[in-house]
Copies of this chain bind each other. A is one copy, B any other.
């Protein structure tokens, strides 16, 4: 019994580091997204985050559009961004999107953005809430989405 407990603990420990879903996508910086400083405007990283999480869902075999078509939307509740180095015009950015916890009534995405020299430019996260579009009330993550993601946890 003790042994089984220990095993469980070990399993959990391993699991806690390993269990997450990671997805990568790229985005090319548009001229429109730069500002007179010559950098990407600080607010435009939110669009890169959006691209990151939308492609993370597509890589799971579903899509955010499909979720909305099925009556569930995901407005953003909190967003946090940290700017280490500026992204520049025409940079081909790598967006790493990470889901560290199984979604419940909400889902948190972490983001890391790298340039082609593999420099970490920006990190951040967003928490979004599942909303039933008919009732306009919070709801649980759709079963079909949980099905696709739970294997990673």
Contact = CB atoms under 8 A, between A and B. Distances in A.
Interface residues of A, number: 38
B43 A44 contact: yes
Counted per complex, copies of this chain come to 4
A69 to B, nearest CB: 10
A76 B84 CA distance: 10
A90 interface: yes
A75 interface: yes
A78 B80 CA distance: 8
Given A42-B76, A78-B81, A78-B83, A47 B35 contact: no
11 contacts: A28-B51, A30-B54, A32-B47, A39-B75, A43-B47, A46-B46, A64-B90, A77-B83, A79-B79, A79-B83, A80-B81
